[in-house]
Structure 1
Amino acid sequence: MVPSVAGTQAAALVRIHAGSHDAPVAYPGLAHFLEHMLFLGSAQYTAEAALMPFVQGVGGQLNATTRERHTDFFFQVPARHLEQALLRLLDMLTQPSLDLDAQRREREVLHAEFLARAQDRETLCDAALATAITPMHPASRFHAGHRETLPVDDPAFQQALRGYLDHAYRTGNIELLLTGPQDRSELQRLAQMADARLRPGASMPQSAPALHTRTDRWLTLHLPQARPRLLLGFVIDGCPKSASVEDYLASWIASEAPGGLLARLRDADLCQGLAMRVPYRFGDQGVLVIEAVLGGAGQRQRAVVAGAVLDWLRFFAAPVCWPVCSADYQEATRRRLLGTEPLQRLRHWVEPGAWSCEAGPEPEAVTTLVRCMLASDPVTLTLTGEDGASGEPVDTQGFPLRMTHQTPEPMAMPDWCWQVPQPNPWLRSTSDMIESGQPAETLPLRALGPQDEGGQGALMLRWRFTNPPAARHWHAVDLALRSRVWAARQAGVELAFEHLGCSWTLSLRGFAEIMPDILADLSPLLARPPARYVAEGACRAEQAATLGQEAMLLRQLLDRLPQAVADPGESLSTGLAAAETANLEDHWHDAVWEGLAVGFPEARMATLQSALRSLPGRPISAAMASVAPGRTNRWLHIPGPSGGEVAYVLFRPLPGLDAPSEAAWRVFARLLEGAFFRRLRSELQLGYAVLCRFGQFAGQAGVFFAVQSPTASAGEIHRHVEAFLEAFSLRLHDWPARDLATVTRETAEQQGEALAEWRGRSERAWQAVLAGQAPEHIEAVRAAMGVLRPADLIQASRSLNGAGRLVLSNAPMPTSEWP
């Protein structure tokens, strides 16, 4: 049990202290396969009433993950549903059905996931690094699992599956964390109930052989269209695990602070980004990876980049860095936890040593970790997009790798004269920006209360241009804001800058008190980004014309959906706006802006008004009206990496802007979610990434359907989606009125709970503003749900089927199935 939190949401997390390295070696992927199977029904709850459909049905979120030495199951739901969700979680952990037919179907889902992971950059890099580990250690082996490693019809496999369940999923091996607005006694009651229902038993013993590397430690991995990267893999044995130390070090390696490691390497064109992650950690063993996105000079001087990172590590462990870096880390951690949702807090608290993270690690612990890393002689892996590998892919017992071994290069060690990173001013006390003399005219900023008790808030701004700037202008500003995004996040504020065709938006969400300072500092960069980013912005605009290898295809399409909804032209698919030569300053001259502040303390409104006066463009007093979408059909083909999977996103826009129509569509989308997932994922087995949801993009409400498949074409996916909608509409006529009323009531309750939280309230209100509506529209939608009838849902089904279609896909428009 963990401390209660304010709000309307509650969360639970179960950690099983057993993972892929603890499963039988003969069946790679068995632990991950069991994690999937547990969601598919149990003794007390059928698949239709199990945890996943229940959580989805109440508007919550859930997931699970299998790591090397632990497996986590977690969910977040409205607080009143915590007990029912927990009962389902406990039953699936103790009494899963493990139906054989369901196993056969789910194995195909895992195989589809395996095929997707075989194209994933991070997965392949980790597999390449694992080849440098001596083969007697489990970290060197393949554990993902696929069709051939999971022989579900073999009695020996079934015995191994149930044996692993019996030994790993018992009380001595399980941690349970609960949090929510309930009082401590109620959370304690739920924890005791869980303890009584879980399978009793001692913990599973865990051990690992010594962790060593081979002598061949310079590798090159060839992955078509990948951005060049350099990875340093530190394989350590004999350094005690400390979540706070590793988090502390990772935060400063990725730091965008002036004078820091990344800033110096970026100025020298050696590196464009840095990150540290921990693919494996158990006891005093670990694999820590520092990953550098190489700049132009860095691609030619990898040894210089590697030497700079190692040299900086030595400097960072010195006492001179401790006062500033430790103080910033402690305040950043405090603010991060202050603004997180319950589930995010649990995922923080479950890690060993996390309870002391706010105080920061001890300097001796940092020194010890860095000393162990430097003594390990890191594995050096170069990732390149050039197809320079010869011969057959390297066999890694799973993922095929086009990899070559390189002659080690001597580390270049110039005198970098490192400096302590400059402190983040947004972590300090805020400045008083209220102007002296006569009070200035109040700008037309909409404000929505009440003030958030936790000091959280949101500020959203939109600029609309008479003559839209070219894509290169937006990318130039986005690049200029890059370091500020990091600094804002460290200060407890999520900063987002979006391109929506004829308009740009800027949003700040989180620690409200510091937002006026952040906004004032951003204004000069918005108005005139430094010249060095202008040329780079043009290159980025060209790169945006295609999907990359860096992230899941479906996620990339969903990220592009707001711009596609907002811009009826073809700029998204070409990556470039209409040719023009105007400077950005000319576009700002004619730009107008409007804004919305949510949850702000009254004492900071005058300071916020002062910061707004420095923005480029001019404010407007009247809302920007939006036009309801037509019923046109558009298919946007966004090319991506050759071969591989097909990703498909269909958006059906809500034809009207009135509250009753939106209310009916929101409820109807709730009915669609679970049925769509079961049909396309479980029955048709099109892929492991399948979702359907009501959403709002650039102010346009609608329902989107998303599928990524390793087997089906875009045309086949589209045909399946259309057939599903047609069949579902027919079923709706026979749906019991009482069941429809229940779903409507639950959706209305979820709306109320979402609006009670500052995050949900700010996002819904801002989408209303983007649609040309008053922020109060969100309450009108909630009220309209209270008077919905079954006939209204049937009408919503008809209007959805008759709505326009916007498809984003990495595949071209089919010739027969469209529209």
Structure 2
Amino acid sequence: MPALNHPLPHLQTLANGLRVSLRHAPHLKRCAAALRVCAGSHDAPPAWPGLAHFLEHLLFLGTERFPVEQGLMAHVRNQGGQLNAKTCERATEFFFELPPSALAAGLERLCDMLAHPRLDLDDQRREREVLHAEFIAWSRDQAAQRQFALFDGLSGAHPLRAFHAGNRYSLNLASRGFQQGLQQFHREYYQAGQMTLSLVGPQPLEELRALAERYGATLARGQHLDQRRPPALLPCGTRSYQQLEAQRLDLLFAFEQLPEGAAPALDFLCTWLQSAKPGGLLAGLQQRQLAQSLKAQTLYEFAGQALLHLQVNLSTRAATAAAQVSELVGDWLGFFRAQGDWPELREEYALLRQRPLQVASALALAQRDSRQTVDELNEQGIAALKAVLAQLQPQVVDNFSSEWHLPAANPFLRSPAEAPRAGLIRGQTSAHRGLRTFAQDRSRSRRETSALHLSQALPTDGHDGALILRWRLASPAPAGLHERLLHSLAPLRSDAAQAGVQLSFASAGEDWMLTLSGLQQPLPAVLQQALKQLTQPADSFWQENPAPLDEAPLMPIRQLLRAFSEQPQAVGSRSAQVSDLQALWADAHWDGLALGLPAGIQEALGRVLQRMPGTADVGLCQPPAAEASRRWQSLPGDAGEQALLLFCPTPGPNLADEAAWRLLGQLCQTPFYQRLRVELQLGYAVFSAVRQRNGQTGLLFGVQSPSATLSEILQHVEQFLQQLPEYLRTLDEAFWNQQRQALAQQFQASLLPLEQAAQWLWQAKLAGHPSDYLTQLHASILALTPDAVIQAARVLQAAGGWTLLANGPCPGAPWQEAQ
């Protein structure tokens, strides 16, 4: 494995006051920028609630130099990147991720839109309606309202208790005072002295520095301003409060006058508070059957203040449960406080904070650097942690229970004593059930002959790798069995994530899928443990079903997206028994895909896969059959807002169709957003994208609206598709060439992040495409002509096989209710 670059970024301050963080990460395939403004919703004038959030929205509406169709959002979409922004209490963040060749243009647009917004009054009126629709959705979202309700116990004078989202009534655009306040807020805070720009990418450090200096210099010169300090979180003499609703207990602890280093100290404390390992607080609550889960997080931290939240999902409705939990929390805190300077935990914390950085995306690294995140508990952090614990327990507790002990070390954070031997898989026989070597995969033109395909699409000398395993069940699983298995994997998922490996176990239709992606070295050990827990669960697995988590329902569009991804699963009618699980694994057939793994890791995986349950099967991947019907799937949910997803698949499985659909998807994004969100103002949740499901590539259109009916939304979408060919004919040759090249570049293996490549190659495997799918698709995109894409847009309107997911009933012909 190649050596990692130094974990600390390069820091400097430009002449205009802009603080710059630069990180050269040669292993990355993409680059990212994150710009953090030290001004948020709590810094806006109290007379105009939501002004800071409103300004964040307005900044994306184009400038004189870059109108909206040429602005940052359009640029990032056209390059296949991602971007977002968010307004927090004391900061506003703007961030995007792009291919390296597109970074300069993206950074130029970002700095221009922050420095020279138009703030046109007509734009303000339209965007205020979008913000109002977002406010309505927020006010109906139970999770958002529950989060806001957590602050009910705070002092009424603290800004956390105030309304900051903004809506039609709080943003008085006609008021001269509002317009002056908007201009002044931008002038005071959107200047270089209040900003930190973080750039991360594979480019040399000097190139990143040149970009930061060139475009950062366009921001107005300024000095850093002290943000006003808030009043006390709680009335004098009060340090905490609690809320109890059904079987959810929320414990909140307020801190004042904390020293520097409080943020990492609180994160350190939360890490061990919510640890599920034996001897910890959660294990103690579970053993007493008081709670099934515990989550600890810092809800707020600024100017020496902090608010710590413990969410406990209780296992009982007993009247004394809350008091027992609070007592045990205090007892554990006494034990934790007595552990000196926590040398073992500090070493473990440094490892688990640094390990995921080795496989973090450019965007994640840029956001982390812009916030100046500390990844260890240094001497300053130790002093801050002791101050935190002193406020939690003013009186030292020395008679705590003897049951507590420090958590065991994460087994995946350290290399095994015996490193895997290099070379091809040793002694490969039929017992390996279909595992093949790179040597056997030299000929890409022949059909796949093994159940686990070791792809050569990406090099194997990087930091990370991916493994996807699928089991096709011979019969429906008993009710609740998958959920029980998923619950049993929770501790393993946590340990794996800390070690830089993301693990998921999903069900979709007839299939169960296990996916591992991340750092190469721990992958075999994580897989071994996962297979053991899935096939040989502990005796406690068959005891009483775990109580369902107390989760607030998702907003409608997110519920539809989850259903689209997961797909319905057939389940049996009776509870699962030991024999049922054994029979399911014995009768299952499996296949899979591995990517980015060097020979030594392949060998280690080969030894683990000898214990793979089920039978290897090369025939599971059959291209989906084309359908002529239009299916409507109604999902139950909150009908306060109407939401739908429309999936329009390609007419066939050939790569020419997929190439045309992908270019159509790229060309659709900006005009679809502009038409339905900006012009028609249907709502703030409006998007279009290319998605793949079961090997099918298609265009996915999504809309959630607080005012339009499902029929009206669908009519607008269909009208857009009808007008699409005419829109495409208005595009000039230079634009066509630019878009085609930008799309083709996204499928160059040398520029693909591994996780994205794994998903694309898996979908290609499901569709029956050859091993050189990426190369062929790249060539097919470059070969596209405008006439071919315009013809594809016409076919799109007439094609069948559309699937629509909605939170309302089927309207009838031509739609058919999905079975």
Common topology (TM > 0.5):
yes
Correspondence 1:683 to 2:679: yes
Match of 2:276 among 256, 279, 293: 256
Match of 1:666 among 662, 679, 693: 662
SS in 1 for 2:63: coil
Match of 2:552 among 549, 553, 558: 549
Match of 1:211 among 228, 232, 239: 232
Correspondence 1:230 to 2:249: yes
CA RMSD after TM alignment: 3.0
Residue 671 to residue 140, structure 1, CA distance change in 2 (3 Å): same
AA aligned to 2:33 is A
Aligned 1:295-374 pairs, distance under 5 A: 295-296=315-316, 301-319=321-339, 322-352=342-372, 354-357=373-376, 362-374=381-393
Aligned 1:269-308 pairs, distance under 5 A: 269-296=289-316, 301-308=321-328
Match of 2:453 among 442, 446, 451: 446
| Structure 1 stretches lacking a partner, 5+ long | 378-410
Measured in 2, the distance between the counterparts of 1:503 and 1:262 equals 33
Measured in 2, the distance between the counterparts of 1:714 and 1:534 equals 44
AA aligned to 1:427 is L
Correspondence 1:635 to 2:632: yes
SS in 2 for 1:319: coil
Partner residue of 1:394? none
Measured in 1, the distance between the counterparts of 2:215 and 2:486 equals 48
Between stretches 441-450 and 74-83, larger displacement belongs to 441-450
Residue 346 to residue 623, structure 1, CA distance change in 2 (3 Å): same
Partner residue of 2:788? 792
AA aligned to 1:95 is H
Measured in 2, the distance between the counterparts of 1:447 and 1:557 equals 33
Measured in 2, the distance between the counterparts of 1:255 and 1:293 equals 15
Between stretches 514-523 and 343-352, larger displacement belongs to 343-352
Correspondence 1:94 to 2:101: no
- Give yes or no for contact 1:500–1:698 (8 Å, CA) kept in 2: no
Measured in 1, the distance between the counterparts of 2:775 and 2:337 equals 53
Correspondence 1:773 to 2:759: no
Partner residue of 1:699? 695
Aligned 1:26-175 pairs, distance under 5 A: 26-175=47-196
Match of 1:2 among 22, 32, 52: 22
TM-score, normalised with respect to structure 1: 0.87
- Give yes or no for contact 1:248–1:360 (8 Å, CA) kept in 2: no
- Give yes or no for contact 1:274–1:290 (8 Å, CA) kept in 2: yes
Aligned 1:721-736 pairs, distance under 5 A: 721-736=717-732
What percentage of residue pairs aligned between the two structures are identical?
35
Question: Which whole-Å deviations, capped at 9, do the CAs of 1:40-72 have from their partners, x for residues lacking one?
Answer: 011211111111111111111111111111111
Correspondence 1:186 to 2:204: no
SS in 1 for 2:342: helix
Partner residue of 1:392? none
- Give yes or no for contact 2:415–2:521 (8 Å, CA) kept in 1: no
Question: Which whole-Å deviations, capped at 9, do the CAs of 1:737-781 have from their partners, x for residues lacking one?
Answer: 443333122110122167543222222111212333334223221
Measured in 1, the distance between the counterparts of 2:412 and 2:379 equals 19
Residue 241 to residue 690, structure 1, CA distance change in 2 (3 Å): farther
Question: Which whole-Å deviations, capped at 9, do the CAs of 1:565-592 have from their partners, x for residues lacking one?
Answer: xx6xxx58xxx45679881221211111
AA aligned to 1:65 is K
Measured in 1, the distance between the counterparts of 2:47 and 2:471 equals 59
SS in 2 for 1:551: coil
Measured in 1, the distance between the counterparts of 2:407 and 2:280 equals 5
Measured in 1, the distance between the counterparts of 2:769 and 2:151 equals 54
AA aligned to 1:583 is D
Measured in 2, the distance between the counterparts of 1:701 and 1:649 equals 15
Residue 440 to residue 426, structure 1, CA distance change in 2 (3 Å): farther
Between stretches 147-156 and 31-40, larger displacement belongs to 147-156
Residue 600 to residue 189, structure 1, CA distance change in 2 (3 Å): same
SS in 2 for 1:304: helix
TM-score, normalised with respect to structure 2: 0.87
- Give yes or no for contact 1:276–1:288 (8 Å, CA) kept in 2: yes
Measured in 1, the distance between the counterparts of 2:242 and 2:407 equals 32
Partner residue of 2:441? none
Residue 484 to residue 789, structure 1, CA distance change in 2 (3 Å): same
Partner residue of 1:515? 523
Match of 2:416 among 422, 430, 439: 430
Measured in 1, the distance between the counterparts of 2:426 and 2:54 equals 69
Measured in 2, the distance between the counterparts of 1:43 and 1:234 equals 48
Question: Which whole-Å deviations, capped at 9, do the CAs of 1:217-247 have from their partners, x for residues lacking one?
Answer: 756577xxxx742211211111125332222
AA aligned to 1:246 is L
* Shift, 1:707, TM fit: 1.6
Question: Which whole-Å deviations, capped at 9, do the CAs of 1:784-810 have from their partners, x for residues lacking one?
Answer: 112111222123223322132212222
Partner residue of 1:399? none
Residue 614 to residue 43, structure 1, CA distance change in 2 (3 Å): same
Between stretches 430-439 and 758-767, larger displacement belongs to 430-439
Aligned 1:546-695 pairs, distance under 5 A: 549-564=552-567, 571=569, 576-577=571-572, 583-622=580-619, 624-641=621-638, 643-695=639-691
SS in 1 for 2:517: strand
Q: How many residues align?
A: 766
SS in 1 for 2:153: coil
Partner residue of 2:746? 750
Residue 644 to residue 455, structure 1, CA distance change in 2 (3 Å): same
Residue 269 to residue 653, structure 1, CA distance change in 2 (3 Å): farther
| Structure 2 stretches lacking a partner, 5+ long | 1-20, 436-451
* Shift, 1:625, TM fit: 2.0
